[in-house]
Amino acid sequence: MSDWTTSWPTAAQLYLEGHRLDEVECIISDLPGIARGKAVPASKFARQDYFHLPDSIFFQTITGGWGEAADEDGFIEKDMILKPDFTTTTAAPWTGDWTLQVIHDAYDRDHNPIPYSPRNVLKRVVQLYHDQGWKPVVAPEMEFYLVARNTDPAREIEPMMGRSGRPAAARQAYSMTAVDEFGPVIDDIYDFAEAQGFEIDGITQEGGAGQLEINLRHGNPVKLADEVFFFKRLIREAALRHNCFATFMAKPIAHEPGSAMHIHHSIIDMESGNNIFSGAQGGETDAFYHFIAGLQNHLPAGLAVMAPYVNSYRRYVKDHAAPINLEWARDNRTTGIRVPLSDPSARRVENRIAGMDCNPYLGIALSLACGYLGLIEQKRPRRQSKGDAYEGDGDIPRVMGDALDLFDQSNALHEILGPEFARVYSIVKRAEYDEFLQVISPWEREHLLMNV
């Protein structure tokens, strides 16, 4: 235990100061981004260097089913070796005792990284950048809704009651009064984040009823994906304390905007420390344009990773603050690829395609993979969009099946993300899609039952 405690991040040390550690949650992200693992007494954790979980957790669908043909010769469930990354040690401040969480990495019996573990996929992509002498930097933005408790799937989701006793109102973007309506929940989010050592760059009211956005400071892609992974749980726990739900569905409420995970990217030259998107005189470089071209050319094939569920595609609606295209422009939120206003040293490219329902490790990995391919291929993007990009035709898949077909055909993305990951991901997502197609919706019963 002593060796471990000396490697705790400062926030974990402060959280436990004067208290005895009771329990450690040993966790790992599955494909949907759900925390899987084991909770063990602190004394037992201090004696173990690793623990085992079956690799079947990566073949499980969001409904609890299983993807077929996990192995070419049939489904063979193997134990993985899960090793802790002590740099991720953080509090679980909503628990009734003194508990810490530690993210683990998955290895096979020969101590090779499990290729379809989401954190390993992101590490693989980041390493490709490092091999080129580049350091990728990202900053994710998290949008989500606070909604009334909903235990009946047949009932529509409704906004939560605010502090005033009135339901959260829509179309109040950036309203401080609207933010105040959720004050008690936001206070707990801040308190939990502080206990866990996370720095929130800001919280704003978005355009939907009860929709909020949290911005995180830019940094290492794996570290930021860890934080989004932790934040989803943190926010849900804060909401439950106040008799409401937090949801990260891409489109939880009809006629309201969807929730995105916008990803800002910049690339640092590891030798000089300079942003490769900006030249010596502050102008935009070839690398800047190549990165944008990579997003334009490869995001359609990667959409199945950034929009992983049938509901994800309901978000891509004109004039609802979500992109329907892969146009790019400076300071224009109607495009799928936006270049925010900034100094040359902070020049970055924002991918506005990813939904908040995607696994943060996989969403960031996919976005970086597209940009990496652009840097390697050295192609030029389409001309910058002028005006309202919603006026053009959409150029991303509109249904899950089409997106999966494009993903399956993209050998370039498979090589970057890992062929075995691509195979397993497709198996699981097609199982989910097939299950959805067996469900008859209220719309079908209302309009087709007596009319066709």
Closest CA relative to residue 156, chosen from 241, 239, 235, 247: 247
Cα 99 from Cα 24, distance rounded (Å): 6
Tell me the β-bridge partners of 272: none
Structure tokens at 332: 């224009």
Cα 46 from Cα 21, distance rounded (Å): 11
Cα 267 from Cα 344, distance rounded (Å): 12
What does the pLDDT look like over 338-362, one tens digit per residue?
999 999 999 999 999 999 999 999 9
> What is the CB neighbour count within 10 angstroms for residue 153?
6
What contacts 93, CB < 8 A, 6 or more positions away? 15, 191, 192, 195, 196
Looking at residue 2, its pLDDT comes to 47
Helices 400-409 and 419-436 sit at what angle, rounded to 10 degrees?
160
Tell me the β-bridge partners of 206: none
Torsional class of 332: left (φ above 0), alpha (ψ -120 to 50), beta (otherwise):
beta
Say if residues 99 and 25 touch (Cβ distance below 8 Å).
yes
Q: Is the dihedral of CA 204, 385, 256, 404 positive or negative?
A: negative
Cα 300 from Cα 351, distance rounded (Å): 13
Q: State the pairing for strand pair 244-247/51-54.
A: unpaired
Closest CA relative to residue 324, chosen from 345, 342, 299: 299
H helix or E strand, kind and range, residue 139: strand 134-148
> For residue 2, which phi and psi values (nearest 5 degrees)?
-65, -40
Q: State the pairing for strand pair 211-216/51-54.
A: unpaired
Sequence-ordered strand ranges (E) for 224-383:
244-247, 263-269, 328-330, 337-339, 349-351
Digit-by-digit pLDDT tens for the chain (452 residues) are 446 777 789 999 999 999 999 999 999 999 999 999 999 999 999 888 899 999 999 999 999 888 765 445 455 678 999 999 999 999 999 998 999 999 999 999 999 999 999 999 999 999 999 999 999 999 999 999 999 998 888 888 888 776 665 666 555 555 566 667 788 898 999 999 999 999 888 888 777 888 899 999 999 999 999 999 999 999 999 999 998 999 999 999 988 889 999 999 999 999 999 999 999 999 999 999 999 999 999 999 999 999 999 999 999 987 666 788 999 999 888 899 999 999 999 999 999 999 999 999 999 999 999 999 999 999 999 999 887 877 777 778 999 999 999 999 999 999 999 999 999 999 999 999 999 999 998 889 999 999 99
Tell me the β-bridge partners of 284: 278
Q: CA separation (Å) from 209 to 140, 167, 354?
A: 22, 8, 21
What does the pLDDT look like over 24-33, one tens digit per residue?
999 999 999 9
H helix or E strand, kind and range, residue 21: none
H helix or E strand, kind and range, residue 15: helix 10-16
What contacts 169, CB < 8 A, 6 or more positions away? 159, 178, 209
Cα 22 from Cα 44, distance rounded (Å): 10
Closest CA relative to residue 311, chosen from 403, 235, 407, 236: 403
Looking at residue 319, its pLDDT comes to 61
Alpha helices in 25-154 (DSSP H): 42-47, 118-131
Please tell me whether residue 375 adopts helix, strand or coil conformation.
Answer: helix
